[in-house]
Amino acid sequence: MKAIVTVIGKDKPGIIAKVSTCLAENNVNIEDISQTIMQGNFTMIMQCGFENASTSLIEIKGRLVELGEKIGVSIHVQHEDIFNAMHKI
């Protein structure tokens, strides 16, 4: 299963490292990543493979949300099918 992880917040050192470390600790593969900084705001979208995840998507989502609160960014996780359906015109 694939999911889309989005991260948005004020730019600061370590955001990519902390998010990718959390995913790696849960055996989630980052398959594609795009990030940019717009007027001091950090934005990142990651396509991740959860096929070999060491725990459930729900639990990893909770860990990422908790991490986001700790580092001051908003982190959302959506199943790839939901993300794609929401962004079709």
Give per-residue pLDDT as tens, 12-46. 999 999 999 999 999 999 999 999 999 999 999 99
Domain count within the chain: 1
pLDDT at residue number 66:
98
Domain residues for 24?
2-86
For residue 60, which phi and psi values (nearest 5 degrees)? -65, -40
* Coil, strand or helix at 73: strand
Residue 72 backbone zone (phi > 0: left; psi -120 to 50: alpha; other: beta): left
Q: CA-CA distance, 8 to 3, in Å (whole number)?
A: 17
Average per-residue pLDDT for the chain: 92
64: CATH: 3.30.70.260
Q: What DSSP character marks residue 51?
A: T
